[in-house]
């Protein structure tokens, strides 16, 4: 069997799909849906893309569970709450809850909400004005914290945080 020359390899859709997918996976973890979309944006046919992604899943190079765990940990470190993280994962085609989200207790989420509030607004020793409380509650809701977690964060005072 004669080896393919490099020009014909680059024109082969399967070779291109494998090459592009591997380059993308080398940069960061991707969900299967994300990777499929990026390959489709490069005008590759779905009947070429799906077998490549199946192969990469079998090899362990593409793993939605690993992607979800890495993604969730990064978002947690940035101060996002469980609702937002789960929503973002679903937008990326991952509908299973990663272990790191399951292992985090409600108390830990409340502490993360307090820290997010402290970084953005600071904590005061006195009660909040109604307008400040509403603004800070909106911020925590947009970050993906539950109402209960946000309420606990809003009740936190400077002296209780130390």
Domain annotation covers residue 118: yes
pLDDT of residue 1: 44
Is 3 contained in some domain? Answer: no
Q: Which residues constitute the domain of residue 142?
A: 105-161
69 shares a domain with 54:
yes
**Model-level pTM?**
0.86
Q: How many other C-beta atoms can be found within 10 angstroms of the C-beta atom of residue 139? A: 17
- 63 sits in which H/E element: none
In this structure, the answer to whether residues 82 and 137 fall within a common structural domain is: no
| Boundary of a domain, candidates 102, 120, 138 | 102
Q: Is the domain of 18 the same as that of 85?
A: yes
The DSSP-derived string for 116-161 is: HHHHHH---SSPPPHHHHHHHHHHHHHHT--HHHHHHHHH--HHHH
CATH number of the domain that residue 110 is part of: 1.10.10.10
Residues 6+ apart with CB under 8 A from 73: 100
Q: Is residue 36 part of a domain?
A: yes
- Per-residue tens of pLDDT for the chain, all 162 residues: 445 555 555 689 999 999 999 999 999 999 999 999 999 999 999 999 999 999 999 999 999 999 999 999 999 999 999 999 999 999 999 999 999 999 999 999 999 999 999 999 999 888 889 999 999 999 999 999 999 999 999 999 886 444
- Asked if residue 57 and residue 32 are part of one domain, the reply reads yes
Q: How many independent structural domains does the chain possess? A: 2
């Amino acid at each position: 069997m004669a080896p393919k020359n490099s020009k014909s390899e680059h024109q082969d859709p399967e070779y291109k799909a494998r090459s592009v997918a591997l380059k993308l996976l080398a940069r960061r973890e991707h969900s299967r849906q994300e990777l499929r979309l990026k390959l489709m944006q490069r005008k590759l046919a779905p009947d070429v893309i799906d077998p490549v992604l199946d192969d990469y899943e079998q090899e362990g190079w593409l793993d939605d569970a690993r992607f979800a765990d890495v993604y969730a940990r990064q978002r947690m470190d940035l101060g996002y709450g469980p609702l937002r993280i789960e929503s973002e994962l679903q937008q990326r085609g991952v509908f299973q809850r990663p272990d790191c989200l399951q292992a985090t207790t409600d108390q830990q989420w409340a502490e993360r909400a307090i820290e997010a509030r402290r970084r953005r607004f600071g904590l005061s020793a006195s009660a909040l004005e109604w307008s400040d409380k509403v603004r800070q509650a909106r911020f925590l809701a947009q970050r993906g914290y539950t109402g209960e977690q946000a309420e606990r964060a809003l009740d936190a005072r400077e002296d209780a945080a130390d």
